[in-house]
C-alpha cells in the first residue's frame, strides 16, 4: 500500500461515494454525473462502535480503581518521603557515631602513647623511680604534679569523648526506630496500593479484549474509507477525461464571471436557484445531459485535494505531510493561483457567499452550529459530499456535507469580500476545529479525542511515527515526524525514543513499579498518545541534543512541561509532550 493510503483515521466513512460532477439545474437542463450515494454524517461513524454498554461498564470499573489510586497517591508520596527522610536521619546518625568513635579511639591512642613513654625499664614513672634516678627533690615534686595534671586531663578528655559516643549511639537507636516505623507505614501503604493495582489488572484483560473488537471494526471502517477516497478520486479523473473528450479546456474564472454578457464559445450559463445564471460556472449543452464546465481554478483546487486524500490531519500544519482544514483549502487554491487565508475563520471572513443550493465542485463549505460557531471548512463536491482535512477522521477524506450544519457556501473564483467576522462560540460550549470538538485538558479518565478513554485507544486510531512500533495520535505523529526530520538534519541521526503511546495495561504495570513517580493509570499524557520519552542525549539537561529540543521543539508543537524542568521536583529531561501548533 502506498504511503498516501497507509493513514490511520479515527472516523472513516462507511458508505461508498461516486462523484463525477455536481447535480445542478442549468438553463440548458440537468447536468451529467449526478452523485448517486452519500457518505455518513460523520466519517467513520465510530461512535456506534464505542457506545457499547460492555465498554462503558469496563471503563467505569477502571475509573473507580483510578479514583482510589488517586486518593492513595498522596499517602504513597508521603510514605515514600517519610521513609527517605528516616533513611537519611539513620545514615546521618550512623555517621555521627562513627565520628565520635573515631575521636574516642584517637584520644585513647594518645593516652596509650603517653603511658608508654613514661614507662622506663619496664616500669611506670613514679616518685620512687625519680628518687632512684637521683633527681633533686624539687624536680620530683614538679614531676609528680605534672603527672597528676596529665592523668586528670586524659581522664577528662576520654570521658567526654565516651559521653559523646553514647549520645550518638542513642540518637542512632532513635533514628533506627523511626526508620522501622516509616518502613512499616510504607509497607502498609504499598500493600493497600498493591490491592488496588490488582483490581486494575483484573479489568485490564477485559478492556483489552473489548478494545480488540473495537479495533477490528475500526480497521474495517478505515478500509471502507480508503475505498471511498479511491472511488471518488477515480470518478473525478473520469470527469476530467470527459472534459478532454468533449474538447473542453477549462477557462479561467475571469471568463465565467458574467455568463449573461459573455461566455466562451459553445458554453451556456448554469442556472441559479434565485433565477438567472450563476457567475463562475458554465455548461456544455448536449444530449442526453449537459456537461458541467468549471473554471480552471476550481478544477485545479479539487484535483490538488484529490491528490492529498489519505494524508494525516494535524492542527497547525500546512503540508506537505499533513494539513488542517484551513491550510488544505489554502494550499489547494494557492496551486490554482488564488491566495486565501489559512484558517477557517479567515477563510469565512473573505469568501464571497453564494446560495447553498447553487453549490458546485470547488466551492468552499463552512460548517458549524449556533452554539459552537464556525467549526469546519472544506471543498464541496456536490450537495451531499465534500473534501476536507477532517479532525474526527484524522485525515484528508471524502466526507458528508450535512446541509443542516452549513453556515455558508462561498466561491473563491468570485473574488474576496470585505472581511466579515466568523460566528463564534457561545459561553459554555466547546470550540470545534476542523470538525472535531476541542475538549479542555482532562485527567479524570473520561473519553477525550475520538471518544476514546485514556490508554484505551484502538491501535487503528493511532499513527506510526516511523520508529520501531511507536505510535501517537495522528496529528502528534505527523508533527513528530517533521521534528525528527529537522533533528536528523542537525545531528545526522534520528531522535532516540524509548516510549510513546502507553496503554492502560502498561500504565498499570509502570505504576506498580514506580507508584511515587509514575502517573496514576488513566491519567498519563502517554495514554492520550500525546507524550514521548526520548534518549540519545536528550535525556540529560544541557547536552547539545537537549538544547536543540529546547530551541526547536516548539516549532513543531512539542514542549517540555514545567513540572519536569530542573528544580521543580521531578526532573525529567527525557519527557516531552505535544501541545499542538
pTM, rounded to two decimals? 0.59
Q: Which residues contact 68 (CB under 8 A, 6 or more apart)?
A: 196, 199
More confident residue, 62 or 81: 81
Q: Which residues contact 265 (CB under 8 A, 6 or more apart)?
A: none
Secondary-structure breakdown of the chain: helix, strand, coil percentages, each rounded to the nearest 5: 50, 15, 35
Residue 266 and residue 291: Cα distance in Å, rounded? 12
**pLDDT at 421 > cutoff 90:** yes
Residue 434 lies in a domain: no
Q: What is the pLDDT of residue 140?
A: 52
Q: What is the pLDDT of residue 94?
A: 73
Among 213, 247, 282, give the residue marking a domain's end.
213
More confident residue, 15 or 562: 562
Residue 373 lies in a domain: no
257 contacts 282 by C-beta, under 8 angstroms: no
Grid coordinates standing for 229?
477516497
Domain that holds residue 124: 58-213
Residues in the chain: 581
More confident residue, 300 or 113: 300
Average pLDDT on 418-440 reads 83
**Burial of residue 156, with CB atoms counted within 10 A of its CB: 0-12 exposed, 13-18 middle, 19 or more buried:** exposed
Q: Which of 35-39, 118-122, 289-293 has the highest mean pLDDT?
A: 289-293
Average pLDDT over the chain, rounded to an integer: 76
Confidence class of residue 79 from pLDDT cuts 50, 70 and 90? low
Residue 132 lies in a domain: yes
More confident residue, 42 or 103: 103
231-248: pLDDT as tens digits: 999 999 999 999 999 999
Q: What is the pLDDT of residue 41?
A: 38
Residue 177 and residue 553: Cα distance in Å, rounded? 50
Q: Which of 67-71, 79-83, 364-368 has the highest mean pLDDT?
A: 364-368
150-206: pLDDT as tens digits: 566 667 766 776 777 677 677 777 767 766 776 777 677 667 667 666 766 666 777
Q: Considering only the C-alpha atoms of the chain, give the largest distance between any 2 of them, rounded to a whole number of Å.
A: 152
Q: What is the pLDDT of residue 117?
A: 57
Q: What is the pLDDT of residue 56?
A: 58
Grid coordinates standing for 325?
482544514
Residue 276 and residue 26: Cα distance in Å, rounded? 10
Q: What is the pLDDT of residue 302?
A: 97
Q: What is the pLDDT of residue 411?
A: 97
**pLDDT at 95 > cutoff 50:** yes
Q: Which residues contact 219 (CB under 8 A, 6 or more apart)?
A: 460
Cα Rg of the chain (Å, integer):
39
Residue 428 lies in a domain: no
Q: What is the pLDDT of residue 257?
A: 92
Grid coordinates standing for 519?
502517573
485-534: pLDDT as tens digits: 999 999 999 999 999 998 877 777 666 565 555 666 666 788 888 899 99
Among 213, 246, 278, give the residue marking a domain's end.
213
User: Alpha carbon of 161 to those of 105, 147, 173, 181, 402: distances in Å?
Assistant: 9, 21, 18, 30, 90
Residue 298 and residue 338: Cα distance in Å, rounded? 10
58-78: pLDDT as tens digits: 566 666 766 666 666 666 667
Residue 561 lies in a domain: yes
More confident residue, 544 or 322: 544
**pLDDT at 354 > cutoff 70:** yes
> Cα–chain-centroid distance for residue 113?
73
Q: Which helix (H) or strand (E) holds 94?
A: helix 53-118
CATH number of the domain where residue 130 is located? 1.10.287
Residue 281 and residue 362: Cα distance in Å, rounded? 11
- SS3 of 194-237: the string is HHHHHHHHHHHHHHHHHHHHHHHHHHHHHHHHHHHHHHHHHHHH
Confidence class of residue 423 from pLDDT cuts 50, 70 and 90? very high
| Torsion 102-104-110-112 (CA) sign | negative
Residue 328 and residue 301: Cα distance in Å, rounded? 10
Residue 142 and residue 134: Cα distance in Å, rounded? 14
**pLDDT at 568 > cutoff 50:** yes
Residue 278 and residue 280: Cα distance in Å, rounded? 6
More confident residue, 39 or 202: 202
**pLDDT at 284 > cutoff 60:** yes
Q: What is the pLDDT of residue 183?
A: 76
Q: What is the pLDDT of residue 28?
A: 28
| Torsion 554-558-559-560 (CA) sign | negative
Residue 410 and residue 199: Cα distance in Å, rounded? 56
Q: What is the pLDDT of residue 62?
A: 66
Q: Tell me the Ramachandran region of residue 434: left when phi exceeds 0, alpha when psi lies from -120 to 50, beta otherwise.
A: left
Residue 432 and residue 421: Cα distance in Å, rounded? 16
Confidence class of residue 40 from pLDDT cuts 50, 70 and 90? very low
**What percentage of the chain exceeds 90 in pLDDT?**
34
> Domain tally for the chain?
2
**pLDDT at 578 > cutoff 60:** yes
Q: What is the pLDDT of residue 136?
A: 56
Least confident of 32-36, 368-372, 391-395, 517-521: 32-36
Least confident of 204-213, 351-360, 437-446: 437-446
436-476: pLDDT as tens digits: 777 554 434 444 555 677 787 778 778 889 898 899 987 78
**pLDDT at 335 > cutoff 90:** yes
CATH number of the domain where residue 482 is located? 3.30.1380.10
Residue 246 lies in a domain: no
Cα torsion through 204, 208, 214, 216, rounded to 10: 180
Least confident of 337-351, 433-447, 480-494: 433-447
Among 183, 213, 243, give the residue marking a domain's end.
213
More confident residue, 282 or 200: 282
User: Alpha carbon of 127 to those of 117, 123, 147, 155, 255: distances in Å?
Assistant: 16, 12, 10, 21, 135
Residue 473 lies in a domain: yes
Residue 385 and residue 186: Cα distance in Å, rounded? 61
Q: What three-state secondary structure class fits 384?
A: coil
Confidence class of residue 12 from pLDDT cuts 50, 70 and 90? very low
**Burial of residue 20, with CB atoms counted within 10 A of its CB: 0-12 exposed, 13-18 middle, 19 or more buried:** buried
Neighbours of 532 (CB within 10 A): 27
More confident residue, 110 or 277: 277
Beta bridge partners of 204: none
445 contacts 62 by C-beta, under 8 angstroms: yes
Q: What three-state secondary structure class fits 376?
A: strand
Confidence class of residue 294 from pLDDT cuts 50, 70 and 90? very high
Residue 158 lies in a domain: yes
Residue 420 and residue 369: Cα distance in Å, rounded? 17
Amino acid at each position: 500500500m502506498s504511503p498516501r493510503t497507509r493513514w490511520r483515521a479515527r472516523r472513516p466513512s462507511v458508505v461508498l461515494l461516486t462523484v463525477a460532477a455536481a447535480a445542478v439545474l442549468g438553463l440548458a437542463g440537468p447536468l451529467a454525473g449526478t452523485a448517486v450515494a452519500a457518505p455518513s454524517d460523520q466519517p467513520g461513524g465510530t461512535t456506534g462502535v464505542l457506545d457499547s454498554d460492555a465498554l462503558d461498564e469496563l471503563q467505569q470499573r477502571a475509573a473507580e480503581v483510578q479514583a482510589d489510586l488517586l486518593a492513595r497517591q498522596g499517602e504513597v508520596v508521603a510514605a515514600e518521603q517519610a521513609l527517605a527522610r528516616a533513611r537519611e536521619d539513620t545514615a546521618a546518625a550512623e555517621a555521627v557515631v562513627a565520628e565520635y568513635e573515631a575521636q574516642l579511639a584517637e584520644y585513647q591512642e594518645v593516652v596509650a602513647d603517653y603511658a608508654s613513654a613514661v614507662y622506663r625499664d619496664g616500669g611506670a614513672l613514679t616518685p620512687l623511680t625519680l628518687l632512684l634516678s637521683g633527681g633533686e627533690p624539687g624536680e620530683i615534686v614538679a614531676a609528680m604534679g605534672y603527672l597528676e595534671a596529665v592523668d586528670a586531663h586524659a581522664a577528662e578528655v576520654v570521658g567526654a569523648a565516651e559521653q559523646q559516643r553514647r549520645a550518638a549511639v542513642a540518637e542512632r537507636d532513635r533514628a533506627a526506630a523511626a526508620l522501622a516505623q516509616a518502613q512499616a507505614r510504607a509497607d502498609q501503604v504499598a500493600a493497600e496500593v498493591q490491592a488496588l493495582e490488582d483490581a486494575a489488572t483484573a479489568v485490564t484483560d477485559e478492556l483489552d479484549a473489548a478494545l480488540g473488537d473495537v479495533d477490528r471494526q475500526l480497521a474495517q471502517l478505515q478500509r471502507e474509507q480508503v475505498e471511498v477516497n479511491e472511488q471518488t478520486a477515480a470518478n473525478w479523473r473520469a470527469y476530467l477525461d470527459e472534459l478532454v473528450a468533449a474538447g473542453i479546456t477549462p477557462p479561467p474564472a475571469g471568463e465565467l464571471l458574467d455568463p449573461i454578457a459573455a461566455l466562451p464559445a459553445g458554453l451556456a450559463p448554469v442556472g441559479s436557484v434565485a433565477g438567472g445564471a450563476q457567475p463562475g460556472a458554465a455548461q456544455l449543452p448536449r444530449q442526453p445531459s449537459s456537461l458541467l464546465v468549471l473554471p480552471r481554478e476550481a478544477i485545479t483546487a479539487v484535483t490538488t485535494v484529490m491528490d492529498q486524500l489519505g494524508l494525516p490531519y494535524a492542527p497547525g500544519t500546512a503540508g506537505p505531510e499533513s494539513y488542517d482544514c484551513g491550510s488544505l483549502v489554502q494550499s489547494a487554491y494557492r496551486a490554482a493561483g488564488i491566495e486565501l487565508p489559512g484558517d477557517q475563520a479567515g477563510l469565512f471572513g473573505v469568501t464571497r457567499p453564494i446560495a447553498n443550493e447553487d453549490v458546485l465542485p470547488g466551492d468552499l463549505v463552512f460548517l458549524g452550529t449556533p452554539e459552537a460557531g464556525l467549526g469546519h471548512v472544506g471543498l464541496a463536491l456536490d450537495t451531499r459530499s465534500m473534501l476536507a482535512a477532517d479532525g474526527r477522521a484524522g485525515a484528508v477524506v471524502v466526507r458528508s456535507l450535512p446541509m443542516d450544519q452549513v453556515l455558508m457556501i462561498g466561491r473563491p473564483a468570485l473574488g474576496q469580500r470585505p472581511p466579515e467576522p466568523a460566528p463564534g462560540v457561545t459561553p459554555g460550549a466547546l470550540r470545534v476545529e476542523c470538525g472535531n470538538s476541542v475538549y479542555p485538558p482532562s485527567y479524570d479518565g473520561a473519553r477525550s479525542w475520538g471518544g476514546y478513554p485514556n490508554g484505551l485507544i484502538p491501535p487503528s486510531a493511532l499513527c506510526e511515527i516511523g520508529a520501531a512500533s511507536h505510535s501517537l495520535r495522528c496529528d502528534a505523529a505527523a508533527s513528530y515526524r517533521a521534528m525528527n526530520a529537522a533533528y536528523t538534519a542537525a545531528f545526522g541521526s534520528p531522535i532516540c525514543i524509548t516510549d510513546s503511546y502507553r496503554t492502560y495495561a502498561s500504565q498499570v504495570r509502570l505504576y506498580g513499579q514506580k507508584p511515587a513517580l509514575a502517573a496514576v493509570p488513566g491519567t498519563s499524557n502517554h495514554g492520550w498518545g500525546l507524550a514521548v520519552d526520548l534518549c540519545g542525549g536528550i535525556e540529560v539537561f544541557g547536552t547539545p541534543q537537549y538544547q536543540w529540543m529546547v530551541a526547536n521543539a516548539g516549532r513543531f508543537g512539542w514542549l517540555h512541561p514545567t513540572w519536569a524542568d530542573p528544580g521543580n521536583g521531578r526532573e525529567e529531561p527525557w519527557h516531552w509532550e505535544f501541545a499542538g501548533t
